[in-house]
């Protein structure tokens, strides 16, 4: 059975002081909770401080981006060993806000996923179709291309460590998520494709849903057998909301 994962993507929010306040409240609410993995992904400027504040915690630390090179002349970029140094265990790769807002391509995502794994970071590989792609009936083609490129350089031995997040672009940040049934169908499809590529290892890959997950909407996704948790944006900035999402995911998993 797959341990569910709930990751908070703080995006470009929170100064260091605010980040530390939030993580303090999250430790109070969530530390030691068994049966669910929790990760927070602060902006780069807060990673080191949040990493220190999470010492001894069961909450993991993730970055929101990584460069594929281990070091070098890449102004403004951050390398995987630097993320490891400040305590990161995870990194979000290929978020739609980077793909569509900042020109990140499948080829770049491919290299980032491989670099993350090579340096001991768990990549949270984001895939998702835009509204135009969905309306043109291209959802499955887009997802297959994004997933295929994302895992192209992943060896079978590393496959089980992957996390994939299905984030339909049209459902992000607007308070109107996909339905649980849609998320379940796509998560199952992604797992089938991973199975074709990696065989049995695909069964242990966690597939998350992201896009307007809140305490009010999470129940719909937590109940789906193919969905192994959530990648949460806006609601992850409030300790009580994020904690209640985590508890809902855990509750759905341990319920008979
Ligand atoms: P929201 O939860 O704010 O819709 O954001 C989702 C997301 O992009 C998480 O990576």
pLDDT tens for each residue of 2-42: 999 999 999 999 999 999 999 999 999 999 999 999 999 99
Q: Cα of 25 to ligand 1 centre, how many Å?
A: 21
Compute the distance between CA of residue 160 and CA of residue 154 in angstroms, rounded to an integer. Answer: 10
Write the residue with the smallest CA distance to atom 5 of ligand 1.
233
Give the per-residue pLDDT at 248: 97
Give the per-residue pLDDT at 244: 98
Cβ–ligand 1 contact at 64 (below 6 Å): no
Write the residue with the smallest CA distance to atom 9 of ligand 1.
233
| 8 Å CB contact between 68 and 107 | no
Closest C-alpha among 51, 38, 44, 53 to residue 7: 38
For residue 1, give the 3-state DSSP assignment. Answer: coil
**Average confidence (pLDDT) over 150-155:** 97
Atom of ligand 1 nearest to the CA of 212: 4
Strands (E), 128-224: 163-166, 206-210
Closest C-alpha among 122, 95, 120, 118 to residue 108: 95
Rg over CA atoms, the chain: 17
Element spanning 99, H or E: helix 96-99
Q: Cα of 153 to ligand 1 centre, how many Å?
A: 27
Residue 160, token pair as written in the block: 């089980």
Cβ–ligand 1 contact at 127 (below 6 Å): no
Residue 2 DSSP one-character state: P
Residue 254 has pLDDT above 90, yes or no: no
The confidence band for 253, taking pLDDT boundaries of 50, 70 and 90, is confident
For residue 91, give the 3-state DSSP assignment. Answer: strand
Q: Cα of 125 to ligand 1 centre, how many Å?
A: 14
Q: What is the pTM of this model?
A: 0.97
Atom of ligand 1 nearest to the CA of 214: 2
Pocket test for ligand 1, best of 5, 128, 172 (most atoms within 8 A of CB): 172
Would you please indicate which residues are annotated as catalytic (active-site) residues?
95, 167
Average pLDDT over the chain, rounded to an integer: 96
Cβ–ligand 1 contact at 218 (below 6 Å): no
Cβ–ligand 1 contact at 231 (below 6 Å): yes
């Amino acid at each position: 059975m797959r341990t569910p994962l709930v990751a908070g993507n703080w995006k470009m929010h929170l100064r260091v002081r605010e980040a530390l306040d939030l993580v303090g409240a999250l430790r109070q609410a969530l530390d030691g909770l068994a049966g669910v993995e929790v990760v927070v992904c602060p902006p780069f400027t807060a990673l080191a401080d949040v990493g220190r504040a999470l010492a001894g915690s069961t909450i993991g630390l993730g970055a929101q981006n990584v460069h594929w090179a281990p070091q070098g002349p890449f102004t403004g970029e951050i390398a995987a060993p630097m993320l490891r140094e400040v305590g990161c265990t995870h990194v979000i790769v290929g978020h739609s806000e980077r793909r569509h807002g900042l020109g990140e391509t499948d080829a770049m995502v491919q290299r980032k996923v491989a670099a993350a794994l090579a340096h001991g970071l768990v990549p949270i590989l984001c895939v998702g179709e835009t509204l135009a792609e969905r309306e043109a009936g291209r959802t499955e083609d887009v997802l297959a291309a994004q997933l295929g490129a994302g895992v192209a350089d992943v060896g079978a031995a590393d496959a089980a460590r992957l996390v994939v997040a299905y984030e339909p672009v049209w459902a992000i940040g607007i308070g109107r998520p996909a339905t649980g049934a849609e998320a379940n169908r796509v998560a199952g499809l992604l797992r089938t494709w991973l199975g074709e590529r990696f065989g049995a290892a695909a069964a242990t890959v966690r597939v998350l849903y992201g896009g307007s997950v809140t305490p009010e909407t999470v129940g719909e996704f937590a109940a789906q057998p193919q969905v192994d948790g959530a990648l949460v944006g806006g609601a992850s900035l409030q300790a009580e909301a994020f904690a209640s999402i985590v508890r809902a995911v855990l509750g759905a998993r341990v319920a008979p």
